[in-house]
Amino acid sequence: MKLLGYWRSSAAYRVRIAFNLKGLDAKLESVHLVKEGGEQHLPKYAALNPQELVPT
């Protein structure tokens, strides 16, 4: 399983806590929310999450 998020995102932090409590392993992939106007707005990320929100 792969988790796309930002290290300062409180939502992504809560998802990591939930994964840990459930004993699930997830590969963390960083999505920078500021660089290049926000990597979550790039077409590559929008294809994964049309709302362009993190985490995914």
- The pLDDT of residue 36: 85
All structural domains of the chain, each given as residue ranges with its CATH number in brackets, are 2-48 (3.40.30.10)
- The pLDDT of residue 54: 93
DSSP states of 1-56:
-EEEE-TT-HHHHHHHHHHHHHT---EEEE--SSGGG-GGGSHHHHHH-TT--S--
- The pLDDT of residue 13: 95
The 10s digit of each residue's pLDDT in 12-51 is 999 999 999 999 999 999 999 998 899 999 999 999 999 9
